[in-house]
Amino acid sequence: MKILLINISLRPESPTLLPPLGLAYIATAIHNAGYELEILDIDAYRYSDDEVENMIKEKDFHVAAMGCIVTGYKQVKKLCSIIKKHKNVPIIVGNSVASSVPELLLEKTEADIAVIGEGDIADIEVLKALENKEDLSKVKGIYYKKDGKIYKTPKREATKDIDSIPFINWDLFDVDLYIEKSKRYMNEPYPVPYEELRSLPVNTARGCAFNCTFCYHVFKKDKYRVRSPKSVCEEMKHLKEKYNINYVNLFDELTFYSIKQCEEFVDTLMQYDLGIFWKACCRGNLFKEKDIGVAKKLKEAGCVGLGYSLESANQEILKAMNKKLKKEEFIEQTRVLKKAGLATWTSLVIGYPQETEKTLQETFDCCYEAEIYPSVGYLIPLPGTPVFEYVRETNAVKDVEEYLLNSGDRQDFRINLTCMDQKTIEDIVKLNLKRISNKLGLALEEDKLIKTVRYKYNDLKVAAK
């Protein structure tokens, strides 16, 4: 049976930054199960809509599959329509666009099956059922359409031992292209000359140990699970030996949840002595002054820096976010990591109902004091979160599908739940980002102040200090 797996382009106006980590796990599982797999990588090659339709029309496949975050709902709906226009084949959709709005997805699009949560095993069971013309009701963790009705099967238990999940087979993709494109995701300072960077991501954990009210991810309803240090190091070793990787992005919702776990990983990595640089993410209050020794050990083990989210410095908003963080802890951690020679990156979520000019200023003053330039995102209420329940209860979102069809990137202002007008918010944001930029000696043009997820090479220039 031939499977067409589609990698959607969520941000066609922006450069490709990372390989599709979740989709790559699914691709590996399908390949390992013995199916004939073809990947239509729209994001990597930036095919036009006409090119995509022509390829779908010409290709020979028995099942189509795709998945993305819920803000990609519009692209999923469009692709499902194109597929059904030319092929009478089942369409499987996964990731959070399926997990957070499964019934809407099946009601409003031409998708046939929504896989909830992890797809590594569920997708294979779905494919086997389709191949053998068996009843889908026996497959756990899915919604599916049959005779015009939508059915839900019992919840699938998440994989407990994620060390048992095979490493991603990057040979299924244009790996050299992604290694080149991944450079764009790297922050300065670069540990090696930019031209020599060779990077791929590694997933070390599934889910998150915390439960912020604005956050939705595909593992949200499952227990937080972490790979063993040995398993992660073995994958890093594999990437170095096979693809000559010298920089690994530990790409997780949360890599380090405790100092003990962090130190165990670093100790193991130092034993492997791979000579690989890496970056990861952690809580915004993980490192205290007493942990400076561990921070220095990270640096010694090749860590370039850590990312961790402040989101807001206002305690009322942090409480509304269920963030379990104080701005003083955030500032302390930033100073500890910088003292150890590590780069620091953070992000903000602006636009909670409690947001005012005063709370905005408090947040940017915190970043200014910590000397950290934030990646700014405006609040996007995501289905499946308490924030989304709020916008439904207050009628701020009247039609869910219309809302999703008009959803965008976190740096696009799409919904205003505050008592301020949009211009006031944007003016305060730009003014303060400029202030922080000037303090840090960053040469940022105005159109780059907010679009700071990652910069192209030489877009960000750090003044000599």
CB 56 within 8 A of CB 220: no
Whether pLDDT at 202 is above 50: yes
Check residue 147 and give its pLDDT. 93
* Residue 331, token pair as written in the block: 């500032």
Over residues 415-439, the pLDDT tens digits come to 999 999 999 999 999 999 999 999 9
> Of 406, 405, 345, 418, whose CA–CA distance to 378 is shortest?
418
- Indicate if 174-448 has the same CATH topology as 2-150: no
Residue of 334, 343, 322, 323 whose CA lies nearest to 367: 334
Residue 17: name the closest of 51, 39, 46, 40 by CA: 46
> What's the pLDDT tens digit per position in 366-422?
999 999 999 999 999 999 999 999 999 999 999 999 999 999 888 889 999 999 999
pLDDT of residue 445: 82
- Position with higher pLDDT, 129 vs 184: 129
What does the mean pLDDT of the chain come to?
Answer: 93
pLDDT band for position 457 (cuts 50, 70, 90)? very low
Question: What is the CATH T-level fold of the domain 2-150, as seen in this structure?
Answer: Rossmann fold (3.40.50)
Euclidean distance between CA atoms 231 and 208, whole angstroms: 19
Q: What is the pTM of this model?
A: 0.94
Residues 47-75 have pLDDT tens digits of 999 999 999 999 999 999 999 999 999 99
> Quick check: 458 pLDDT over 50?
no
Which of the 8 DSSP states describes residue 190? Answer: P
Give the pLDDT of residue 422: 97
Check residue 453 and give its pLDDT.
Answer: 43
**Chain mean position to CA 246:** 22
The C-alpha atoms of residue 104 and residue 26 are separated, in whole angstroms, by 23
The residue assigned the tokens 């699938």 is 156
Superfamily of domain 174-448: tm_1862 like domain (3.80.30.20)
pLDDT band at 456 (very low <50, low <70, confident <90, very high): very low
* Contact between residue 116 and residue 98 where contact means Cβ atoms under 8 Å apart: yes
Q: Where are the alpha helices (DSSP H) in 87-187?
A: 96-99, 102-108, 122-131, 175-181
Given a cut of 60, is residue 19 above it in pLDDT?
A: yes
- What is the structure's pLDDT at 448? 80
DSSP state, 348?
E
The mean pLDDT value for 153-176 works out to 96
Give the whole-angstrom CA distance, residue 88 versus residue 299. 54
Spell out a b/e string for 142-157, using b for 16 or more CB atoms within 10 Å of the CB, else e.
Answer: bbbbeeeeeeebeebe
Say what the pLDDT of residue 418 is: 98
CB 76 within 8 A of CB 93: yes
pLDDT of 455 reads 35
State how far the alpha carbon of 367 is from the alpha carbons of 312, 327, 346, in Å: 10, 9, 9
Phi/psi at 328 (5° precision): -65, -35
- pLDDT tier for residue 451 given thresholds of 50, 70 and 90: low
pLDDT band for 463, please (50, 70, 90 cuts).
very low
Which pLDDT tens digit goes with each residue over 209-251? 899 999 988 777 789 999 999 999 999 999 999 999 999 999 9
Return d(Cα 406, Cα 392) in angstroms, integer. Answer: 16
Rounded Cα–Cα distance for residues 150 and 135 (Å): 14
pLDDT at 464 over 60: no
Has residue 452 got a pLDDT over 60?
no
Would you say residue 460 has pLDDT above 70?
no
* pLDDT greater than 80 at residue 127: yes
Q: How confident is the model at residue 186 (pLDDT cuts 50, 70, 90)?
A: confident
The structure tokens listed for 39 are 């990947």
Across the range 446-457, mean pLDDT stands at 59
Residue 198: pLDDT over 60: yes
Domain chopping of the chain, boundaries? 2-150, 174-448
189 preceded by a cis bond (ω within 30 of 0): yes
Tens of pLDDT, residue by residue over 252-294, are 999 999 999 999 999 999 999 999 999 999 999 999 999 999 9
> pLDDT, tens digit, for every residue of 300-354?
999 999 999 999 999 999 999 999 999 999 999 999 999 999 999 999 999 999 9
